[in-house]
Amino acid sequence: MKSNFYYKLGAPSRITPTYNHKKTTTKMKPNLCVETKGKLLENDETEPVSPTGQYFNSKSLSISILAILESEVPIDDSSATTLLQDLFLPISPRFSSIMISNPTGEKQWKRVQVNLQDHIKVPTFSNNLSNQSYDNEFDQYLTKISMNPLPKDKPLWEIHILKYPTTKAAGHLIFKLHHALGDGYSLMGALLSCVKRADNPFLPLTFQSTRVSTQQVQKNNNNGGFMRLMVMGRRTLSMIYRGFSDFGSFLRSSYTVDDKTPIRSGNASLGFHPVKIFTLAFSLDQIKLIKTNLGTKVNDAISGIIFLGTRLYMQSTHTKFNKSRSTVTVLYNTRNIGGYMSVEEMMNADTKIWGNKFSYLQILLPELTNKNCSNPLDFVYEARKLIARYKNSPAVYLTAQYLDIVRRFRGSEAIAENIHSRLTKSSMGITNMIGPAEQVTLANHPIKGMYFMCTGIPKSLTITIMSYTQTLRIAVGVEKGFIDSQRLESCFMNAFEMIYEAATKS
């Protein structure tokens, strides 16, 4: 099975709204452990919560995803209730369900009647402020909702409609979705089912393909059969060895703690501590130019920029942090598919695609030395080496199997505590998604930009990456009062300029 560094996804045939889903449920009459404000639907069925869904909604962890859409025009929310009822809720039964426990303690999804007014939040700010002032209001509001847990007596999602103009948009739509509902792939598929292409709503959305070209496949097939088998055999043995080696590193990470540095405070309350979120925007054409000139990939280029920018920030505090032990938690999509599927395809697939289908590993953040400071491209090459090593590592699946075995013997709460402990011991987290190549509209509102952020993660530094049209958007969540967001942003921009200048001259 093939895995990808981050959520690296290709182009689907089409993404369309869907309303009918295949039910894979079990009839049960659970003893409700949550009093719900929504009315339980009579004679309905329950469905077991996946193991990962239980980890992410536990005593130790409560992780959500914020999907932020920037509207090009002022937002009219008069049809919000109708659109959510007719378009959003039918996408998945999860959006109309609460999480309950049966008498044996197993968590189940239970369908309820949704009161949409409980899920629509329209904040009120002061009137007639400047766009810059509304920037501050928006930032504070984003910090607030990133901290507030979703109520457990209602379905685990909210939509926040901010009608005030900022320097970046005429208004904002923020979807807050609990990670127990699904991972980035599932929730991105759901979001894309609600939008249409701005240029032609009847055409399907397209995405940058990550598949190998037909010409390259033919070229590989034309190589000698015996030599091809020898190479495949050597690669297979090497992959098996690396897989067990990487899995051993994963087991050791339970006992290894990163150094306390300017990007890791070691604060025990992380995940419930205020977070400052800011974004940077890069031209995809410039990133692709770096990729082409260096013979690498887009992921290599952007990872090199992030790694170098992070080390520059650490160095700006003290040079002793140039070689400190700092690890990066990298999320892997484990679906054996080449692109997005429609929600209907996800729900009806033989092996269910909807949900949380990912694993994670930790890699060392490259050190900053005099050599690679004078040649910043070394960070891109190091990123390429790390990505190539872990991209197809069996350790991803060994890790998933290990967690499942431990869960069966010790329970979901024990795994949630284990994951929380591992996350607090590493320095930063990073993941990404590929967005539409064309501008989209949501309820006739042209979307100017979009990005996402994972909240509730016990880390001082979390980075998410998303492409949309011809822009690559990096969202950075930092521990408020610990990391200097302005200085970190400046270091990332400096890293980009250093790598771009060196790449265009090479």
Rounded Cα distance between 258 and 460, Å, is: 12
Q: Are residues 221 and 165 in the same domain?
A: no
Query: For position 326, which CATH number holds?
Result: 3.30.559.30
The per-residue pLDDT for range 365-401, each reduced to its tens digit, is 988 877 666 789 999 999 888 877 766 667 767 777 7
Rounded Cα distance between 124 and 110, Å, is: 33
**Do residues 453 and 435 make contact, with C-beta atoms less than 8 angstroms apart?**
no
Residue whose structure tokens are 């339980």: 40
Instruction: Give the residue among 68, 99, 93, 88 at the shortest CA–CA distance from 161.
Output: 68
Residue numbers of the domain that contains 145: 12-197
Residue 31 has pLDDT above 80, yes or no: no
Q: Are residues 102 and 241 in the same domain?
A: no
Rounded Cα distance between 500 and 457, Å, is: 31
Q: Are residues 133 and 230 in the same domain?
A: no
Q: Are residues 160 and 226 in the same domain?
A: no
pLDDT recorded at residue 337: 52
Is position 54 within any domain? yes
Residue whose structure tokens are 């895995």: 3
The per-residue pLDDT for range 470-500, each reduced to its tens digit, is 999 999 999 999 999 999 999 999 999 999 9
Is position 3 within any domain? no
Is position 205 within any domain? no
Residues forming a β-bridge with 157? 177
**Among the three residues 171, 197, 223, which one is the final residue of a domain in this structure?**
197
Tokens (6 digits) for 255:
């006992």
Is position 129 within any domain? yes
Query: For position 188, which CATH number holds?
Result: 3.30.559.10
Residue whose structure tokens are 């010790």: 410
pLDDT recorded at residue 227: 58
Residue whose structure tokens are 């001259």: 505
CA 142-333-470 angle, to 5 degrees, is 60
Residue 223 has pLDDT above 70, yes or no: no
Q: Are residues 160 and 273 in the same domain?
A: no
How many domains are there within the chain?
2
**Among the three residues 137, 164, 197, which one is the final residue of a domain in this structure?**
197
Residues forming a β-bridge with 471? 283, 468
Is position 465 within any domain? yes
Q: Are residues 165 and 262 in the same domain?
A: no
Q: Give the amino acid at 120.
A: I
Q: Which comes out higher in pLDDT, residue 126 or 233?
A: 126
Is position 2 within any domain? no
Q: Are residues 387 and 477 in the same domain?
A: yes
Q: Are residues 192 and 218 in the same domain?
A: no
Residue 26 has pLDDT above 60, yes or no: no
- What DSSP character marks residue 473? E
pLDDT recorded at residue 27: 38
pLDDT recorded at residue 247: 66
What residue spans of 318-411 are helical by DSSP H? 343-348, 370-374, 377-391, 395-410
Q: Are residues 188 and 290 in the same domain?
A: no
Q: Are residues 186 and 250 in the same domain?
A: no
Q: Are residues 51 and 97 in the same domain?
A: yes
Q: In this structure, how many other beta carbons lie within 10 angstroms of the beta carbon of residue 408?
A: 11
Is position 207 within any domain? no
Can you say whether the dihedral through the CA atoms of 143, 146, 152, 155 is positive or negative?
Answer: positive
Taking 3-state DSSP, the helix, strand and coil percentages for the chain, each rounded to the nearest 5, stand at: 40, 25, 35
Q: Which comes out higher in pLDDT, residue 461 or 21?
A: 461
Is position 184 within any domain? yes
Q: Which comes out higher in pLDDT, residue 101 or 4?
A: 101
Q: In this structure, how many other beta carbons lie within 10 angstroms of the beta carbon of residue 90?
A: 17
Rounded Cα distance between 413 and 44, Å, is: 27
Q: Are residues 222 and 249 in the same domain?
A: yes
Rounded Cα distance between 261 and 320, Å, is: 10
